[in-house]
Amino acid sequence: MPPTTDHQSFLGRSILSIRRNQVSAMETSSTSQDQELQDLDIFQKRISDSFINLTSSTSPPDLLSIEWLRKLLDVYLCCEAEFKAAILLRRDPSHITKPPMDRQIPDLVDRAVKSLDICNAVTNGVESVQHWKKLADIAVGAMEQKPVGEGQVRRARKALSNLVAAMSNEEVMSSVNNGKSTERAWSFGRKGSSSGGGGGGMKEGNVGSFRSLSMTVSRSWSAAKQIQAMAANLAMPRGGEATGMGMIVYIMSTVMVFVMWVLVMAIPCQDKSGVASHIPIPRQLACAAPMIGLQDRISEELKKREKNKGNAGLLEELQKLEKCSHGCIELMDSLVFPVEEEKAEEMRAKLGELGETCQKMEEGLDPLRRQVREVFHRMVRSRAEILLIFDNTGKSPSPIL
């Protein structure tokens, strides 16, 4: 029986409706891809501008100084804010639970968890530096009295000898923190408090007393291995993922690894020997050039340091502290008592240079420590926000739980 006119009309309308839906879906997909490309371009430009500004404002003596590290941490915090704006704020957050983001986001958060231990190691390293500064303060104070006596010189020399020994001995460096136990508990939380990562209630007197709710880190923990683990599977997205949100996640991971690498290079950390002189940063990234330039300059500083067989960090103030201490010890060893006024003035001049370095450290180390702590808590909060999104969507990203 031949089809009726009504049946033909119905089939025509159905086919037309399907085609319209297909066109609408293609247009929606195209709009979404265009938005992702735009977000990626904006994100890359802002990250690139941040590192270009950091590089252009850095003269050779300022690289790896306390002030420069604080600027670097400011850049990281800005990058982290831009990342959350691009990934979470301008779109439905649940998209991070869908492929390919459901693989990439857990990798990023796993690096953040590893970064928490590095932040704590750096905090302990800053405390070591503060301890060494106190030894230098003892030497400076001992030599301020006139006339210079043998007892004063002996006291100053002992303090500087202890300082130099601590800076050159990795075992001393890892346990010098005011008699702390050699086994440290790191990551989430701290002694005598709740485990939340929101940063509330942390008192200044509790520096370095973090207590782990996830793992206990002993003396076998290695900063070098931690950086290696963070960079191990840092693979640049390919194909369609290279032009979307996946690339933003990759760039943020690269920034995170780079910043943690710089902190480990600059600040005394447990078992940093063997840390790679470079981390993988693809040159085709828009933000790669300034980061690679900084990495090359830091690597040159590392080569100079390795020639001197030193184990302390590349922090500029540490280099000056060690150099001044060696110079003062040599001069003290050449003194003949009673000390001639000319020699005493030469001694005071060298100790004056040491005192200037101590003053810079006095002014900068506490703010640096607070900034490292701010990075720590920002990472904890971001991790909690991401886990909440996965929880609300019924997903269970096992790698980051």
Ranges 190-199, 236-245, 335-344, most confident: 335-344
Q: In this predicted model, which residue has the larger pLDDT, 190 or 253?
A: 253
Residue 125 pLDDT exceeds 70: yes
The answer on pLDDT for 211 being more than 90 is no
Residue 210's DSSP bridge partners are 190
User: Tokens representing 401?
Assistant: 């739980």
Tokens 């490309």 belong to 37
User: Which are the contacts of 166, defined by CB distance < 8 A and separation ≥ 6?
Assistant: 128, 131, 132, 135, 172, 173, 176
Please state the rounded mean pLDDT for residues 259-287.
Answer: 90
Q: Higher model confidence: residue 180 or residue 267?
A: 267
CB neighbours (10 Å) of residue 131? 15
> Which tokens sit at 274?
């063997």
Q: Which residue has the tokens 């009309």?
A: 9
Q: In which band, very low, low, confident or very high, does the pLDDT at 9 lie, cut at 50, 70 and 90?
A: low
Give the helix, strand, coil percentages of the chain, each rounded to 5: 70, 0, 30
C-beta contacts of 23-32 below 8 A and 24+ residues apart: none
User: Which of 53-57, 67-71, 105-109 has the least mean pLDDT?
Assistant: 53-57
DSSP conformation class of 281:
-
pLDDT confidence of residue 105? 92
What residue segments make up the domains of the chain, in order of their start?
35-400
Among 211, 213, 254, smallest CA distance to 120 is for 211
How many Cβ atoms sit within 10 Å of the Cβ of residue 258? 22
Bond from prior residue into 100 cis (ω within 30 degrees of 0): yes
Neighbours of 385 (CB within 10 A): 12
* Residue that has been written with the tokens 């371009």 in this structure: 41
Specify the residue for token string 């929606």.
28
How many Å apart are CA 130 and CA 163, to the nearest integer? 11
Question: CA-based diameter of the chain, in Å?
Answer: 128
SS3 233: coil
What is the pLDDT, as a whole number, of residue 308? 56
Per-residue confidence band for 89, with pLDDT thresholds at 50, 70 and 90: confident
C-alpha 266, offset from chain centre:
10
pLDDT in tens, 347-373: 888 889 999 999 999 999 999 999 999
Check residue 212 and give its pLDDT: 36
DSSP-based three-state secondary structure for 253: helix
Residue 231 in tokens: 């960079």
> What pLDDT sits at residue 29?
47
From its phi and psi, is residue 201 left (phi > 0), alpha (psi between -120 and 50) or beta?
left
Indicate the SS3 state at residue 184: strand
- Which spans in 57-149 are helix H? 66-84, 101-142
pLDDT tens, residue by residue, 302-333: 888 776 555 678 999 999 999 999 999 999 99
pTM: 0.81
Q: How confident is the model at residue 384 (pLDDT cuts 50, 70, 90)?
A: very high
User: Token pair for residue 389?
Assistant: 């999104």
